[in-house]
Amino acid sequence: MAVAIVLAEHPGLKFEPLAKTLGISASKAFDSVKRLTEVGIVLPAGRRINRLALLEFLEHGIQYVFPASPGVFRQGVPTGRSGPVLVDALDAGDESVVWPCAGGPVRGRAIEPLVPKAAELPQRSPETYVALSLIDALRIGGARERALALHALRQRLGMPGTALEV
């Protein structure tokens, strides 16, 4: 799913830069694009995203296909409700959610990120970091978190949305 987000941000991106952005191999990026094309999220011509299909999957399927459950407390990079977009909109209390990372700025309950090197995204690709932290809110959040995250993702993807009622 992270591959789809990067392609939404950079349509037509070649496999090498796509892989470098996410810290994965070019072959893994290729395989991911192939799978996303098979399910209709990536359009066959030019590695462009079917934004409606992507949003539909994010809204209705992400938490089932890529479930996450906050676990033990660890140092890490804030994500989900603790990420850069939602942290000010939600009162997360003292319990942050993080991608585990020894040098991370926050201590919180760890979740498994969608890509192994996600903790490096704030420096490598800040826009991808923001998007994936919003997706984590969809993976683990309650109704209000999910509504705010979906609204923010719609805006990031340039999609019209309904008025936010939370």
Give the count of domains, the chain.
2
- Cβ neighbour number for residue 30 with a 10 Å cutoff: 14
Distance from CA of residue 14 to its chain's centroid?
Answer: 20
Domain that holds residue 16: 2-65
Boundary (domain end) residue, out of 65, 84, 112? 65
Q: Could you tell me which of 102, 115, 105 has the C-alpha nearest to residue 77?
A: 105
Measured distance CA(110)–CA(125) in Å, rounded: 21
Specify whether 79 is located in the same domain as 139: yes
The model's pLDDT over 69-120, given as tens digits with 9 standing for 90+, comes to 999 999 999 999 999 999 888 765 668 999 999 999 999 999 999 999 999 9
What value does the mean pLDDT of the chain take?
92
In a domain, 161, yes or no: no
User: Do the domain assignments include residue 126?
Assistant: yes
Single-letter code of the amino acid located at 31? D
Q: Which residue has the tokens 């760890």?
A: 110
Residue 87 lies in a domain: yes
Output the domain CATH number for residue 56. 1.10.10
Which of 11, 44, 65 corresponds to the end of one domain?
Answer: 65
What whole-number distance in Å separates Cα of residue 132 and Cα of residue 37? 20
**What pLDDT, in 10s, does the model give residues 115-146?**
999 999 999 999 999 999 999 999 999 999 99
Same domain assignment for residues 85 and 150 = yes
